[in-house]
Structure 1
């Protein structure tokens, strides 16, 4: 057996006789700065510039399951059981490598967002897939929970956003078009495709089509009243504006004056 695939049994202990068996304690903080995951957990906040790995609800559930241990200083740690490591040992090295790579990629995307904020013209030099990743960083910093679709597995949108407002979870499906080469612009066909996806997602979902190259002249033709309400469009100025909000947030001078949903759709058609 490859030494990288073997499980270091000696690391796993069971000092409290947990019926689930031996375990090691794992850090529950993330290297990513996610405002929605920065909350007090038994009187403690994650280190500056970091966040918890779990939502409040998930953290509470893990505590209820007896999987959280608090250090002498009061910081939470997660129990990771030997049985779980054994069942996933062939995947674990890849997961760790993927996690390190994700940190590198996302750090780079944050730097690009800051550059766009200060120099909007550099947007033309950003690759289309990178712009999707950049927008994910921006949306998370501004307070949304985000999901980025995998390249090649596009479900009709690039980003899924969530925000909690007035006791209700609002969902937005965002399609990002970055067609600067050749002057190509999305039109009514692209918009209609997003409308269909949003309609299938349910009444609580809305859509936003963002294009760095603008739109064709007939993009809004034929939209019904319902479609006008559920899906909006916005151009390059919206991308720049969001990145500038991101910059102000990083510098500690941006405070939302409206709900996240209103801020997201502000200036759209």
Structure 2
């Protein structure tokens, strides 16, 4: 009887190893911390071994990782490591640096754990140092505890689009926990409402604005070069509270705040 149990456990172990062959295996806390620090967004399956559902989850996570290959994925089966992140049971966890956030998908409470459901979980919560605004990313942006957004309004296809995105993306880590940096493509008709909210049109771009979700207030950086120095000072002015005396963007009736 004992031999039969051992053989079954060995077979399960072999199956699990084969299933997660394309997923990195993290065996201790140091390895997990290093993996989390390796990219802007990562996903880790904190899963028990020798569970029938684990194989299914690994299959789904592996398939999802192939489809969203911009997000590194791994698994960890160590209970003590899982406890370090406040997790009591099998959980698929997404870590993102932009707002130091940990988004947990608890297996026991989830409805869809196949590849499609996991892809949706990843893409909805994939907030980066600079995130392009669309209907999917909007969910993660507005669910974040960081309610202040630094907005880059620029037209995709313009000569300076890629350079501006890269420039602000490099600046964003300085303001982790204070701002989410968001790119709004002014060339898309679907974004015209966002531009209008700031009193802008596509031909006015590029421009930079700040939206504070807590106060529902907004400001525009005065026209001029969208340089790292100007944007940094704009952000610092908000943090210092200096923008409270500045007229809101797109507001004609409102003057002083």
TM-score normalised per structure 2: 0.30
